[in-house]
Amino acid sequence: MNTLWKFTSISGCLAVGIGLLTSCGGPGNKSAEAPTDTAKVAPVKVQVVQPGSLEMTIQAMGVLRSRHQAPLSAQVGGMVLKKYHEIGDVIAAGEAILALDPEPFELALQQAQGAYASAQAAFEQASRNLQRYQKLNDDGDVSQFEFENTSLGEQSTRAALQMAESALKMAERNLRLSKLTSPVKGRLAQLNAQIGEQVAPGQPLATVVDLEQMEIEVGLSEQEVPRLSCGQEARVFVSAYSGQTFTGKVRSVGVAGLDAGKTFPVIITVDNASGLLRPGMAAVADILYAAHQNVLYISREALVAINTDEPTIFVVEGNRAVRRRVSLGDGDGRQVIVETGLQSGDKLVIEGQNVLRDSIKIKIL
């Protein structure tokens, strides 16, 4: 009897244990199921690909400057007597900006005029004497010594006249240069002189800039420079005039590299008929070097690197993102032509593509 009770108790406990194991870890427990692919949905943004026109550009940054800029220095020394203009004034070519005290130059000119007149009179007298002695010499009425002395006297007065003439021209020049004039049309950008100030020859006094034609000098790499040539168009943007585009053209392309060959200088002229641009403004130039019509192109940011040299993209098919290999054509730093692997109307993933895997479900934002 006791043996039968013990067996029954042990069997019951085994049954209870098996039941507990079944209820805790058996295949019927849905909470322990592995996650399915339906739970993994990646959010992305897409763009419908359409053929269009693509302009190939090289972008560069630089600082605007005047194409024609005239730094003016004093040619003669003296005291600043008068200023005709202030900074910002429009200056015509040949117009005076300031004047030095003219009195010292006027006095020097009068002295030079007197010296020239005296030298001229002496030369004329010596010339007449030489003519007279020449006739006497031909008739044998004077000695050779007297004739030669007369001839040397004429040559000496001729040289003195030439020196007096040079001194007179220099005095006239100095008087003329006592007024500082601009050789170009433009605006007065700098004026470094005050009335009463004593200036010396060579001292910088003013700068005149022509604002109608501006230019930018940029440095481009050895990979970019071969694509450029003189006359190519450029679009120029200045932060001071957001949303406004200025037109320009490539004026020169450097043939020798600067900074140990790292960059090549390229100069772009910019039309400033509006007068809005100023020297010193930071500018960005998009230089157009090629144009393609009716092509499929994408942003380079849409390309995905998947440990392969072949460029790859993701396109949407149904509710999944499908990986495609594409072959690329011409492009610049921002956009590139797709020659194969993409069709018009495809939905290209442009955001979120770097975390996708092939055929994953997606949600278009």
CB–CB of 91/107 below 8 Å? no
CB–CB of 40/346 below 8 Å? no
Q: Report the range of poorest mean pLDDT among 32-36, 151-155, 299-303.
A: 32-36
Please provide the average confidence, as pLDDT, over all residues in the chain: 85
The domains found in the chain, sorted by start residue, are: 42-53+295-364 (2.40.420.20), 59-67+209-291 (2.40.30.170), 71-100+182-208 (2.40.50.100), 103-177 (1.10.287.470)
Highest mean pLDDT among 36-50, 154-168, 320-334: 154-168
pTM above 0.85, yes or no: no
Nearest in space to 185 (alpha carbons), one of 95, 96, 279, 93 = 93
Q: Report the range of poorest mean pLDDT among 7-11, 34-38, 95-99, 190-194.
A: 7-11
Count of CB atoms situated within 10 Å of the CB of 1: 5
In this predicted model, what pLDDT tens digit does every residue of 153-190 receive, in sequence order?
889 999 999 999 999 999 999 999 999 999 988 999 99
CA–CA separation, 73 and 127 (whole Å): 44
Three-class DSSP category at 62: strand
What integer is the mean pLDDT of 290-311?
A: 84
Residue 7 has pLDDT above 70, yes or no: no
Percentage with pLDDT > 70 across the chain = 88
CB–CB of 197/99 below 8 Å? no
In this predicted model, what pLDDT tens digit does every residue of 16-35 receive, in sequence order?
343 433 444 444 444 334 33
Nearest in space to 102 (alpha carbons), one of 171, 153, 186 = 171
Count of CB atoms situated within 10 Å of the CB of 188: 21
In this predicted model, what pLDDT tens digit does every residue of 238-275 receive, in sequence order?
998 988 999 999 999 988 877 766 789 999 999 998 88
